[in-house]
Chain A
Amino acid sequence: MKFRPIGRHLLALLLIVGLSGCGSIEPWVKPYERDKLADPIMALDSDAVSTSYIQHVYEAREGARGGEGAAGGGCGCN
């Protein structure tokens, strides 16, 4: 299985999205309907200092890494 750096593809995707006139799409959840989403219990990463630490532990204890949107540093100790 071959993998290639995807940086150029990401840049192209950003440009396409940016040039596609995305501002014309009507938001289906209005700003005044987002009170529940603004509740602190809905924050996807409410405690960055804690999230980074626990990801750090998992990356040291398991072979997988990344893809969680909030990956931590690594402790690869024995």
Chain B
Amino acid sequence: MKIRRLPLLALLLVTSSSVLAGVLPEDRADVLYHLYDGGGVAIDGPSILVRKKVGKSLSVVGNYYVDMVSSASIDVITTASPYTEERKQWSLGVDYLHANTTMRVNYTSSEESDYDAETIAFSVSQDMFGDLTTLTLGYALGDDLVRRSDDASFERQLDRQIYSIGLTQILTKNLISTLNFETVTDEGFLNNPYRSVRYFDAGSALGYSYEPELYPNTRTSNALGLRARYFLPYRAAIEGEYRFFIDTWDIEGHTASLTYIHPWRDFTFTGKFRYHNQTGAHFYRDIFSRSEATNFRGRDKELSPLTSYTFKLKASYEFLNDDGNDWGFIKKASVTASIDMLHVDYDDFSDLTAAAPLGSEPLYQLDADIFQVFFSFWY
């Protein structure tokens, strides 16, 4: 089971061009290879995104994305067996431009052996105040089906709705900012059907045993994000971002990042540092006092209190531009490579692979490298 939050991707595809509501997005194709490698998990695959105008008022976008997963993560090796799996996702969207208003609709479908997801997303953007301000409203509806690979009769529903409002504002000749608010409501089967929690068990040789996790059937989250990008005097840009997150599971998160973008000849270099800190869900425990100790229980480390740090380096090279070329209909092309080095410190998630006595296990830490290489073509 790998996908949970598919509607957010659909919402991205209907809001990502919100800065230019009065202009259709450029005709462009991207072919990307991604690799996540860390914590015993390797996930790689392609993502292909193609966008093309049809007439003066329509732009069509399609995306095909694959995750090929090979997992021997700490969760898997402590309670299950390593596995490999594949997830395929595709989406199709249309932008319609009328005067200063852009309306978008996007459909996304994802399939894997034990999880299917469908999402439909809508958004409308309006340019105002001499195109200094763009207001975007979005709505997405997700319909997921959760299954178990070891139980053909197991089938659970998960419904999700996303409401978003975004405001992009040109503040000065050198400064642009954007404010986004997003509410997500989930209803249905939210826990992982394979994951277990552990509890004290004096009858066990280890001192503890496992039982299936059990989550609430609803979750509502609110997130407020603010970004601002400033053009420096010597043709470079700096961006700051902050996000506040809170949900009905008592997770409160703060995320901040600082980005520096520096062009040089046909290259563009980017460096970014990102920090994230969160509290844990109210039903999360590293170990429970006994079996069925609480109404809801989980040991998903992503729902535990944690702090993550990411350092990103990215370089882009434009190997073809508008200055006359014989590439036919292709006007511009670039190649980009990036690495994100992610480190996560978990405040309340023990590393059970350390084989330490109960109560003295070290806290788990995760290091992962995330590689991306992609070619982009404008036509």
- Decide if A62 touches B253 in the complex (CB within 8 Å): yes
- Decide if B9 touches A77 in the complex (CB within 8 Å): no
Most A Cβ at <10 Å: residue of B16, B280, B306, B338: B16
Interface bits A13-44 vs B (CB < 8 Å: 1, else 0): 11001100011011111010110110111111
Q: A49's contact among B30, B173, B255, by CB below 8 Å, is which? A: B30
- Expressed in whole angstroms, the Cα–Cα distance for A3 and B276 within the complex equals 24
- Expressed in whole angstroms, the Cα–Cα distance for A68 and B5 within the complex equals 14
- Decide if A64 touches B251 in the complex (CB within 8 Å): yes
- Decide if B12 touches A71 in the complex (CB within 8 Å): yes
- Decide if A28 touches B132 in the complex (CB within 8 Å): yes
What are the residues of chain B within 8 A of A73 when measuring CB–CB? 3, 5-6, 8-10, 12, 65, 89, 108, 110
What are the residues of chain B within 8 A of A62 when measuring CB–CB? 253, 276, 278, 302, 306, 308
Secondary structure at chain B's binding surface: helix, strand, loop or mixed?
strand
- Decide if A77 touches B281 in the complex (CB within 8 Å): no
Which residue on chain A has the smallest CB distance to residue B164? A66
- Decide if A44 touches B12 in the complex (CB within 8 Å): no
- Expressed in whole angstroms, the Cα–Cα distance for A42 and B357 within the complex equals 53
Q: A69's contact among B9, B13, B15, B32, by CB below 8 Å, is which? A: B15
> Is B63 an interface position by the 8 A CB rule?
yes
The smallest beta-carbon distance between A45 and chain B, in angstroms, is: 5
Q: Known interface pairs A49-B63, A64-B251, A65-B221. Does A76 touch B182 (Cβ–Cβ under 8 Å)?
A: no
- Decide if A53 touches B372 in the complex (CB within 8 Å): yes
Which residue on chain B has the smallest CB distance to residue A36? B231
- Decide if A67 touches B245 in the complex (CB within 8 Å): yes
The smallest beta-carbon distance between A16 and chain B, in angstroms, is: 11
Interface bits B286-310 vs A (CB < 8 Å: 1, else 0): 0000000000000000110010100
Interface bits B349-379 vs A (CB < 8 Å: 1, else 0): 0000000000000000010101010101000
- Expressed in whole angstroms, the Cα–Cα distance for A66 and B235 within the complex equals 31
Q: Known interface pairs A14-B135, A73-B6. Does A37 touch B12 (Cβ–Cβ under 8 Å)?
A: no
What are the residues of chain A within 8 A of B366 when measuring CB–CB? 61
- Expressed in whole angstroms, the Cα–Cα distance for A75 and B370 within the complex equals 14
> Is B209 an interface position by the 8 A CB rule?
no
What are the residues of chain A within 8 A of B12 when measuring CB–CB? 48, 51-52, 55, 70-73
What are the residues of chain B within 8 A of A72 when measuring CB–CB? 8-9, 12
The smallest beta-carbon distance between B116 and chain A, in angstroms, is: 14
Q: A50's contact among B224, B227, B263, B338, by CB below 8 Å, is which? A: B338
- Decide if A53 touches B245 in the complex (CB within 8 Å): no
Q: Give the contact stretch, choosing among B123-131, B149-157, B200-208.
A: B123-131
What are the residues of chain A within 8 A of B320 when measuring CB–CB? none
Q: Known interface pairs A10-B165, A13-B165, A67-B224. Does A74 touch B344 (Cβ–Cβ under 8 Å)?
A: no
What are the residues of chain B within 8 A of A7 when measuring CB–CB? 139, 163
Chain A contacts to B: CB under 8 angstroms: 1, 3, 5-7, 10-11, 13-14, 17-18, 22-23, 25-29, 31, 33-34, 36-37, 39-45, 47-78
